[in-house]
Amino acid sequence: MSSKNQTKKYSGHLLEQKRENIRSPCLNRALACHIQSTFKNKET
């Protein structure tokens, strides 16, 4: 019973995160660019 509740809470949190991403696409893009550059640095 409690585990089911935990999953519900978690999925709700994910939905909230998605809403945040939609609200700030610029921040999302910057983060993606940062991650890409980090991976590129690791390759070289």
The torsion of the CA quartet 28, 33, 39, 42, rounded to 10 degrees, works out to -130
| 41 pLDDT above the threshold of 70 | yes
How far apart are alpha carbons 21 and 34 in whole angstroms? Answer: 16
When comparing pLDDT for 34 and 1, which is higher? 34
Overall pTM > 0.85: no
Q: What's the rounded mean pLDDT across residues 26-32?
A: 78
The whole-chain average pLDDT of the chain stands at 73
Q: Can you give the pLDDT at residue 29? A: 81
Q: How many domains is the chain built from?
A: 1
31: containing domain: 2-43
When comparing pLDDT for 14 and 29, which is higher? 29
Q: How confident is the model at residue 32 (pLDDT cuts 50, 70, 90)?
A: confident
